[in-house]
Amino acid sequence: MAERSLAGRRIVVVGASAGIGRAFAIRAGKEGAKMVLAARREERLAEVVTDCVGATTVSADVRISADCQRIGRVAQEVLGNVDVLLVSSGYAPLKMFSDTTAQDWRDVFETNVIGVHEVIRAHLPVLTPSAIVAVLSSDSVANPHTALGAYSSSKAALERCLQQWRIEHPGYRFSCVEVGGTVPTDFTSAFDPEVLDVALHEWLRRGLVQEARMTPEAVAEVLAGTIASAVEQPGVGLQHITVVSPTGPMRT
């Protein structure tokens, strides 16, 4: 069987400056994909594009509707049409539920739900008839984590949004990518160390931390291979992909 590749595919990656989004962009770029890469941190995007010859970068914040529209316009100008839209941007406040403020809720929903919605809307005019729209979610939806209540709630809302997109826009392949913990990650960089210590103790007690963590590169490798195969089979959908470590829980 011929090896599946993303060579020549027209791809937009939103959240391409770090984590799985960055690893996916680099993997696709090395295979010869034609790409538009978007993220807030322009300097980090500049680092990624050195490994993605010919990729076009867009400094954008998904919380700003005009920025989302701009990503779509650049995609149309540079790529013409889009075969794959991968959205890996996300935000998580680490707070106990009773300490979670109205502003925390606004911030997390503006990024993880409304921002994703606006990105998808901006790309509807340029998606090919069987385009794959893959959006990263979290295993914390099915397995709630202490101090991540707002985050997991937003991801649950995101997953319901993807169901609605499927209902109203059949043909496009809206895919929820449920991902377990990865290391290294920027996910915890802004977490309060004291809250993280309490939360981590609870996560360990409840068996929510795996003995071995996946790397963003390994997840991106699997995801890229799966998407590359699916692009060639427009009659096959990828409604829900679960990528988690196969190891058991870490022992305390």
Which active-site residues does the annotation give?
A: 151
- Give the whole-angstrom CA distance, residue 230 versus residue 232: 5
DSSP 132-167: EEEEEEETTTTS--TTBHHHHHHHHHHHHHHHHHHH
C-alpha 251 chain-centroid distance: 29
C-alpha 164 chain-centroid distance: 18
- Give the whole-angstrom CA distance, residue 200 versus residue 111: 24
- Give the whole-angstrom CA distance, residue 214 versus residue 193: 22
Token representation of residue 162: 């993807």
Pairing outcome for strands 82-87 and 56-59 = unpaired
Name the nearest CA neighbour of 232 among 72, 36, 8, 77. Answer: 8
**Beta-sheet strand order (sheet of 240-243):** 56-59, 34-39, 10-14, 82-87, 127-138, 173-179, 240-243
Contacts of 8 (CB under 8 A, 6+ apart): 32, 33, 34
How many other CB atoms are there within 10 angstroms of residue 47's CB atom? 11
